[in-house]
Chain A
Amino acid sequence: MTAAPALLSVENLTVVIGGAAVVDRVSFEVGGGQVVAIVGESGCGKSMTAFALMDLLPAAARRTSGRIELSGRPIQDLGDAGMRKLRGKEMSIIFQEPVAALDPLMTVGDQLIEAIRAHHDLDRAQSMAHARKLLESVGITDADLRLKQYPFELSGGMCQRVMIAGALAGQPRLLIADEPTTALDVTIQAQILELIKARRAEIGASVILITHDMGIVADMADRVLVMYAGRIVEEADAFDLFARPRHPYTEALMKSVPRLDDVPGTRLPVIEGAVPRPGSHGPGCRFADRCFLAIDRCRAEEPGLLPVDGGGRRSACWRRDDVGLAGGPA
């Protein structure tokens, strides 16, 4: 675990939609300059966690508990006006669908200027010059042409670069990347990840990287949070996690990534079943029904997220000592 003081500290965060918790008593920290990945299948509460941090939850969702500290300052009760000063300046977010995240009727330049002017007192010409610099910083050539174009005239990868440029306009200390490459071509994915890495390093920001792709986690993350059905089920340094998962869900996620040394013709292991709908799980571990290690206790009693192996590593599994040994699921 890094010795740097935590940039972001989240304690007991719960988000409810229609009476069911989609994010359930989640606690974690993000250190300065750290890349923390939140991993899990669709519907695990990863994006809701991110939106809750920015106070940008959809209308149907509500945060019912949780303490969120940014640089030691509690921000959970700031309200919209207070959060507005932080958004884009202290913390930024980029989204899964870059084309949908840009206003279709506004030029790229105007959208960047909007981001710049939200936090800087610049006139239009100065903002435009700044916007051009931002586009160049994310590797867009022909910046002058691009500034005048509309999102529909740009490719998805190009739109994501524009989003990144806008998100970093205020030099935030925390960048939340919500599945930033999921909607992009494979060849573009690597470029976008490289760009996030490079820009992150330049401005010294921390990153919360939300993904379901263990390959991206291995490539980018310092620390990993594995989420399942609204709960964090495992937390570990990335290196330790890949060395030995301590939760059957983590292990299953890893095994469902295709590897070059797989024997050709064998089927890729999949996790049978689906994430339980919020509020529909029993009293025990939420993963029990899909878990190959489940015992009676798992269905009766929910395991706590308890330290394992030292180094701030935690796992919520009654059989944490039996996970990650030889002889897991085929």
Chain B
Amino acid sequence: MTGFLLNRAAQSIVSFWGAISIVFVIMHLSGDPTLLLVPEGATRADIEQLRHLLGFDRPLIVQYADYLFQLLRFDFGASLIQRVPVMDIILSRLPYTLWLGGCALALALLIGIPVGVLTGLFRGRLVDRICMPIVLIGQSMPTFWSGILLILLFAVELRWLPSSGAESSVSVIMPAVALGALSMATYARIARTGVIEELSKEYVRAVRAKGVSGIQVVLSHVLRNASIPIITVSALEIANLLAGAVIVETVFAWPGLGQLAVQSIASRDFLVVQGLVVLGAFTHIGLNFVADLLYGVVDPRISLSRRDT
């Protein structure tokens, strides 16, 4: 197990190094990064001064080494617009995105998985035939559209919830529902398929043949086996929540990282964008590492089969 983890940790570090190197290359590939950073109408002297200030006049390899060491110290440079460290800007927005993403994920897991398990256990029965079309609708609705529908209904017509912003404690409800709906549908479908597949396996009949009750078979065998595909999907789904936040935060004017990304791109604040891209890469790789770790906990075939290597 330890060897497996070390192996995966090393792979994650290499992946992360690759990702941040690509970010560096893209920054320099598009020509002179200084030109991307300066506002329109800047004089040649301004550009020269900025280039020197940011160190873009140094050899590429020196800049690359400098960039890596900066990242090692969690230093993303300073925003050119707001004149404060990028890290501070990101940290001020991060709690909003974590709160929104966490609520959306909780909604997706707490509703999606039980619905998937129940529809899987009672396949073809009433609960399945009622829930699955709803799940399908949830999966077919683009977030920007479901978000606007929610605003029209609950903010404009019923006036129950604020249409945007994060001032009120109930502000998070609509963006979380809009953001979580898609994941909820994905979890429901994966859990349903997993349960149906496990129920058809021979070991389920064998366990029942021992005299174990049906509910016990589900609790101590089927759910655990069906959780493996759910873990796989979770790493992707959580990453998708962060990507989906870009749209949802724009629709609901939620002051998180997604909105920050859109604003920074619009104002050509490229060091902030770079910081967000690096953070996104780190999150993706970190989530996949955690998923690998959980596989090892759930499935002995993964952790033990590497025992000798």
Contact = CB atoms under 8 A, between A and B. Distances in A.
Contacts of A169: 210
B299 A105 contact: yes
A163 B206 CA distance: 9
A105 B298 contact: yes
Contact of A100 (B203, B209, B299, B300): B203
Nearest to B224: A105
Given A119-B211, A153-B304, A95 B206 contact: yes
A81 B216 CA distance: 13
Interface string B177-210: 0000000000000000000000011110111111
B139 interface: no
Interface in A71-126: 80-81, 84-89, 92-93, 95, 97, 100-106, 114-115, 118-119
A105 B206 contact: no
B212 A152 contact: no
A89 B211 contact: yes
Interface string A45-65: 000000100101010000000
Interface of A: 51, 54, 56, 58, 80-81, 84-89, 92-93, 95, 97, 100-106, 114-115, 118-119, 150, 152-153, 163, 166-167, 169-170
B205 A118 contact: no
Contacts of B224: 105
Contacts of A150: 300-301, 304
Given A103-B221, A150-B304, A118 B202 contact: no
Contacts of A118: 210-212
Given A88-B210, A114-B210, A119-B211, A102 B203 contact: yes
B300 A93 contact: no
B214 interface: yes
A281 B114 CA distance: 45
Contact of B210 (A51, A87, A105, A153): A87
B43 interface: no
B206 A102 contact: yes
Given A56-B208, A92-B209, A150-B300, A80 B203 contact: no
A88 B211 contact: yes
A97 B203 CA distance: 10
Contacts of A103: 203, 207, 221, 225
A92 to B, nearest CB: 7
Contact of A105 (B205, B211, B300): B300
Interface of B: 200-203, 205-214, 220-221, 224-225, 298-301, 304-305
Contacts of B301: 104, 150, 152
Contacts of B211: 84-89, 115, 118-119, 170
Given A80-B214, A106-B221, A56 B205 contact: yes
A69 B29 CA distance: 81
A114 B209 contact: no
Contacts of B208: 56, 87
B210 A166 contact: yes
Nearest to B299: A105
10 contacts: A87-B208, A87-B210, A92-B209, A93-B209, A97-B202, A100-B203, A105-B225, A105-B300, A150-B300, A166-B210
Contact of B209 (A56, A102, A153): A56
A86 B211 CA distance: 7
Given A88-B209, A100-B201, A104-B225, 8 more contacts: A56-B208, A81-B213, A97-B202, A100-B202, A119-B211, A150-B301, A152-B300, A166-B210
A114 B299 CA distance: 19
A137 to B, nearest CB: 17
Contact of B206 (A101, A119, A152): A101
Most buried by A among B200, B202, B203, B225: B203
Given A114-B210, A118-B212, A95 B202 contact: yes
A132 B225 CA distance: 26
B209 A54 contact: yes
A86 B224 CA distance: 27
A92 B211 CA distance: 9
B202 A152 contact: no
A87 B203 contact: no
A169 B210 CA distance: 9
Contacts of B200: 58
Contacts of A115: 210-211
A115 B212 CA distance: 8
Contacts of A114: 207, 210, 212, 220
A115 B220 CA distance: 13
Nearest to A86: B211
Contacts of A85: 211
